[in-house]
Structure 1
Amino acid sequence: MTAAPHPKIQVDVTADLARALLVDQHPDLADLPLHGRVFGWDNVTWRLGDALALRFPVRDLSSTLVEREQRWLAVLAPQLPVPVPAPVRTGRPGRGFPWSWSVVPWLTGTQVAALPVAPRAAWATELADALAALHVPAPADAPRNPYRGVPLADRVETMRARTTDDLPHVAALRAALDAGVAAPAWDRPAVWVHGDPHPGNLVADGAHLTGLIDFGDLGAGDPASDLATAWMTFDAAGRAAFVARTQELRGWDAATWTRARAWAASYVAVLLAHPDEYPVLAEVGRHTAAQVAAG
């Protein structure tokens, strides 16, 4: 998340609007202080008191993502070894705000994207544990995300078009994409996929991972798009620990890791798309490119 709004924001959720929605729908929470507003790519979050937060979509395309979290996080949270923002209350449209919204727990810690890279290795196995617990076969009615967990072949032309000459380490990014498409595709039952476990959606406190947030891209499919976090979040030492623990728990084949590296390469252009509005995520993009180039 970041302190600046996405350029495509459609509704600005001010403190007055958030407070009015609480008064109307959750009056027992309406007297708690609102503070610390932060914008993500699809949502805005207001901290509510010390223990809660309000999560609002800011554009029509993201409105269904909050509803997905409301439907599924309560199901998934008990199986995960790390805290997640499973909604404790839900909100409905009102006061001119057109979409569903949520009251969620506030997870303590710092957004990992704002932390130094090397110390993240201390909790690399904790992230591996969390994703391994999530990456289990999903039910038939699990949501499908057309952009995550899908075969690379379905997205590679868009990925290649975005991988322009001005990107850092562009030759390595293109080679990683080519290798991922050439690798055998996922041929097992679809597993739950977070969809976006980059450092902006991780929370850590010291030597521990304290939160996995933003499940709006939740879906079912190939876990490789999640495992790309090995290059997005860690340096070589942290990645080695993450991969080793993941292999101990899930034993993915080499093709899955080749596809994961390709997914990491594909995210670089997206992360660097709005460097002025999202400088922290742009730095994640530069880091990812360097790590993909390093292997």
Structure 2
Amino acid sequence: MTADGWDGSSGLVIDTLLVRELLVAQFPRWAALPLEPVDSSGLVNAIFRLGSDLSVRLPLRPSTTDMVQREQAKLAALAPFLPVAIPSVEAIGSPTGAYPGEWSIHRWLSGTTPSPDTLAHPRVLAADLAVFVDALRRVDLPDRTPAYPGERRTRASMVSMDSSTREAIAELDGLIDARAALASWEESLAAPYDGREVWVHSDLTPGNLLVSAEGRLTAVLDFETCGVGDPSCDLFPAWHLLPANVHDEFRTALDVDDATWLRGRGRVLSQAVIVLRHHRDTNPALASYALHAIGRVLGQ
């Protein structure tokens, strides 16, 4: 696997050769371990498995800021409060001439990515997800970093998503039922919000979850956008993963009112149409996930 940073405009190729060179120079104790790319449709990091117990993550848009260090601190602070494993940063690599940004080595987490078409025990997974979301909501830390750190604070607002969502729906007319999508979005946009904020992961999509062979939630990944925000941000599994016949159980476990449910549905639709608009021709896996989520939102 190779990953072209900065949306393909930089010419930077992140491959096993580059990662091996970085390891030799900065972490020689791990440099001889087997190294292989992890197949991923993600847009944030290139990931490589290092030996049996570690992974290497390199942001596709390298940065010399302390982003990786902030993530390390956030993960360490949250881990004691959560019922399943989350990433732990074992080491942070420094920028070099070959890779001009910080990168990290994580502990490898076991499990497989769940698929909505092959869930063995959806009610069990729904219950596990609700326990995780509830535990995260109850976290009380002095550092209340906003969800989507580094972006405008209004990113968490539904209104701030309106124009980009409408543009995406209009452009996808014919590929999706644009009329139904717009009606659904407007219903969600009108749902009231009292401003209450809790800790949210904000991207509980299948690619950021790991499950055991028995279908139990074993780990949650990618906390880059984690912070405090609208509780509806963590209802993504309902439309990305869980069948409709367990939605009521998921809602009840999290005490989700109608307005919060509608906002959660709208967030899923907004993310999905924007992803589909930008990646339908370049990232088939992401496009497939987005189409699935849109279909679930629209009841198709």
The alignment's TM-score, normalised by the length of structure 2, stands at: 0.85
Letter in 1 for 2:21: A
Conservation of the 8 A alpha-carbon contact between 2:114 and 2:211: yes
Q: 1:214 to 1:108 in 2, by over 3 A?
A: same
The aligned amino acid for 1:71 is A
Task: Pick the aligned partner of 2:244 from 222, 226, 236.
Answer: 236
User: 1:62 Cα deviation (Å)?
Assistant: 11
Measured in 1, the distance between the counterparts of 2:248 and 2:286 equals 23
CA distance, structure 2, for counterparts of residue 68 and residue 120 of structure 1: 34
What secondary structure is seen at the aligned counterpart in 2 of 1:163? helix
**CA positional deviation for 1:95:** 4.3
Contact 1:199 1:233 in 2 (8 A): yes
- CA change 1:78–1:106 in 2 (3 A) is same
Aligned CA RMSD, in angstroms, stands at 2.7
Shift of 1:81: 0.9
More RCO (CA 8 Å, sep 6+): 1
Matches within 5 A, 1:58-69: 58-60=60-62, 66-69=68-71
Rounded to whole Å, the distance in 2 between the matches of 1:6 and 1:227 is 31
| Greater Cα offset, 40-49 or 22-31 | 22-31
Identity %: 34
Structure 1 partner of 2:181: 173
Q: What is residue 28 of structure 1 aligned with on the other side?
A: 29
Check conservation: 1:122, 1:208, Cα contact below 8 A: yes
**Structure 2 counterpart of 1:19:** 20
Q: In the alignment, which residue of structure 1 is the partner of 2:270?
A: 266
* 1:12 Cα deviation after fit: 2.1
**CA offset at residue 178 of structure 1?**
0.8
**Structure 2 stretches lacking a partner, 5+ long:** none
Give the whole-Å Cα distance in 2 for the aligned partners of 1:275 and 1:118: 29
User: Is the CA contact (8 Å cut-off) linking 2:161 and 2:270 kept in structure 1?
Assistant: no
Residues 203-254 of structure 1: CA distance to partner in whole angstroms, max 9, x if unpaired?
Answer: 122221122111112232112122133111212124333223222xxxx332
Residue 18 of structure 1, CA deviation: 1.1
Relative to the length of structure 1, the TM-score reads 0.86
Question: Matched residues in 1 for 2:65 and 2:117: separation?
Answer: 29
Matches for 1:97-116 after TM superposition, within 5 Å: 97-113=99-115, 116=118
> One-letter code of the match for 2:74?
W
The answer (yes or no) to whether the contact 2:144–2:228 under 8 Å persists in 1 is no
Aligned residues: 288
1:205 aligns with 2:212: yes
How far has the Cα of 1:43 moved from its partner?
A: 0.6
Aligned mates of 2:65, 2:38 — CA distance in 1: 18
Residue identity opposite 2:14 in structure 1:
V
Contact 1:111 1:202 in 2 (8 A): yes
Measured at CA, do residues 114 and 85 of structure 1 come closer, stay the same or move farther in structure 2, by a change above 3 Å?
farther
Distance 2:180 2:174 in 1: 13
Contact 2:45 2:59 in 1 (8 A): yes
The whole-number CA distance in structure 2 between the counterparts of 1:61 and 1:269 is 28
Are the counterparts in 2 of residues 193 and 219 from structure 1 also a CA contact under 8 Å? yes
Q: Secondary structure at the match of 1:230?
A: helix
Gaps spanning 5+ residues in structure 1: where? none
Instruction: Select 1:152's aligned residue among 155, 158, 165.
Output: 158
Q: 1:80-229 to 2 correspondence within 5 Å?
A: 80-113=82-115, 116-117=118-119, 119-136=121-138, 139-145=142-148, 146=151, 150-164=156-170, 165-188=173-196, 190-206=197-213, 207-229=215-237
Contact 1:85 1:213 in 2 (8 A): yes
1:114–1:280 contact (8 Å) kept in structure 2: no
Question: Which one of the candidate residues 282, 288, 291 is aligned to 1:286?
Answer: 291
Distance 1:119 1:179 in 2: 32
Say if 2:116 and 2:240, in contact at 8 Å, map to a contact too.
no
Contact 2:265–2:297 (CA under 8 A) maintained in structure 1: yes
